[in-house]
Structure 1
Amino acid sequence: MITSGSSNMPGTSLCFFKIILKDVGSHTELMIPEKVLRVLGEDLKDSVSLNAPSGSQWLVNLKRHEGKVWLQNGWPEFANFYSIGFGYLLVFEYKGDAKFQVLIFHPSSLEIDYPLAASDRPSTSENERVIDSSSSGDVFRPYNSTEASTKLRQEKAKDQVNKDRALSLEKSFKSKNPFFVHLMKESHIVGGGWPNVYIPKNFKEAHNNWKDKDQVILQVEGESWVVYCNLNQQCNQCRISRGWTIFARDNSLGVGDVCLFELINRSKKLFQVFIYRAAKGPEFENLPRVRSKADKARVLESVNAFEPEQPHFSVEVKNSYLYGGSITVPVQFVHKHITKDNCDVILQLPDGRVWSVKCYIKEKCAKFSAGWKNFSKENNLAAGDFCGFELVNQRLLKVVIFRLKS
C-alpha cells in the first residue's frame, strides 16, 4: 500500500508525493496518481526519467492498464540503490520532457544523503563541489569521484554478499517446522522509522491461520519477547509490528544481519529465532566456539566444580550477551547480596585487572550493562563460554572464565 498526494497550484510546478508502506521488491511497481495523469496527458509516453539531487538519472519504463499508469522496469533498481523501504516519503516534481526530480526522505523526516551513481559521474575539476545535505546549513565538501566510486562499489558488493548469505542460509537450513528468513534492512531495525518485519506470503501458517493483533512469541537462546502481528486482508499482508522494536533493540539487530524464524509451536505461535550477524568489525568477531561433546562436558565439569566459600553464581555466555552489550544475572542473588536499586559494580579477574559495569534492576530481571561490552571484548568472550562470579564485597565480584576451545 502506498499513500500519495499531488499539488498543481497556479504558478507552481506539478508535484506529488508517495509514502512507501511496504518494502520494495524486484517486482514492485509504483502507481502515478490519476490526478497527475490528467494534468500531464500525452507528456508521459513509454518511459520517464527519475533524477536525484546528486545528478543521477534513472530511466524507468511505464506500465499502462485500464487508464492507470505505474512505474515498472527500473523502479525497483532505483528504490534499491537509494535503500527506499517502508516509511520513506518521496516527492516527485515534474520538470517537463518526461523528467521527474525526486526528493527522498527517511522515515525520521530527514532527507537522505544521496549516493552517486558511477555512470553519472562526469570528470570534474578539483575545485568543483557538491552540497552535503546531511547538515542543516550550507556545508560544502570537495568532490572526489574516485573515493565515491570505490565506496559505492564496496557498499553494493557488501549488500550482494548479505543477500547471498541469506539465500544460502534459507536453502541449507533443514527442519520439519515451517520457517522463513529475513535479511535486516534499515526499515526492519531500530532507527528506521517504524521498525517491523513482513512475513513472506509463502509462509502460509501466518496468512491462513492468524488473526489481526494475535500474540507471537520470539525466542532467542532461552529468552523470550512478545510481539503482535498486523494482518491486512485487503493487501494480503502480515507483519510483526508492535513489540518488534524492543526485540530488535534488545538483540542489537543491524543492517545486514540475517534472522531465521522457525515456528516450533503452532498453537502458541512460538518462534525460535536464529541471528546470523553481518561482519561489522572486530567487536563482532566473537563467534560461537566449535563445541565438541567432550569439550562441553569438560567446561560443565569445571563450572560445576566452581564452589568458592563466598556467595557465587555462574552464567553461560550467549550471543545476545556479546552483541547486546549486557548480560542477565540472577535477580535473587543481586537483591540479596548487591543491591535492590541500580548501582555500579566492579568485576575483577584473578590477575587483578578490573572493569566497572552498571547493574540494572527491572521488575524480575537484573543485568550487568554499561561496561559489560568492554569486559567481554577485552577478555575475548565467545558464545558457549561460562563466567563464574564470586562476591568479594557488596560492590566487588571476582570473575573466573571457563572457555570452550576454539
Structure 2
Amino acid sequence: MNSTRSWQVRGLPGRTASFLLLRGWKRFCRDNNLKEGDICTFNVIKTKLWHVVIMRYKEKINQCYETPESKNNILSREGQKRSKGSMTSLNKASSLTRCAFEIGPPAWIMKEINTSTIENLLSLPLSFCEAIGLREPCMITLKTSTSSTSSWQVQAKAYKCRNQLDGSGWKRFCRDNRIKVGDICKFKIIETTLWLVIIMRH
C-alpha cells in the first residue's frame, strides 16, 4: 500500500444489511477511471480506512476462462500486473467462467461457479499453482471461517496445464455450503494445503 492518494467517501447504512457509498464516491470512480465490469477488492485496514485494489475488466490480468462443456477445455490467460487503487462490480459471462488471482502474499484466487464446477471439478491455472507450491497430488483442507471447527478435505490433482479440485470431497463442500451457479468463491491461501473460502452469493 504505497500510494499516498486518498479519497473521503461518505457511507450510509442501507436496507437489507447493505452499506451505501455516497458523497465522494463519484469522484473516486472518476479519478481512478473506473469502468463497468471492473472488479474492486476492498481490504479493510480499519473501520474507516479501506485499501482498494482494482482489476480492470478489459485487462488480461491473471485471468483464466473455463468453458462449462468440457473438463479439459481450459484456456488460461495471463497478463500485466494489476493496477492499484479502486473499486468494481463483477460481470458474469453465460458461456465462460471468469476467474482472477493474485500471487500475493497473501495469495488468493476468485472463481465464478458454473454447473460444471459444481458437478465435476474446480480448475486452477498452472501459474497460480506453481506460485503457491501446489504441483503434486495432495489433500487440501477448505474452511469457510478461521474460527470454525468445520472443514472439508478435497483432493487436488496435478496435470501439465493445470491443477484441479474434484472428487467426493469437492462435491460435498459444494453441497454442504449450498453453492449455486453464479456464486463467486474466493479462495485465500493460508498455507499450500489450507484454504479459506469466502462465498459471495449470486
TM normalised by structure 2 equals 0.48
Q: Structure with the greater relative contact order (CA < 8 A, sep ≥ 6): 1 or 2?
A: 2
Higher strand share goes to which structure? 2
Q: Which has the larger radius of gyration?
A: 1
Higher helix share goes to which structure? 1
TM normalised by structure 1 equals 0.25
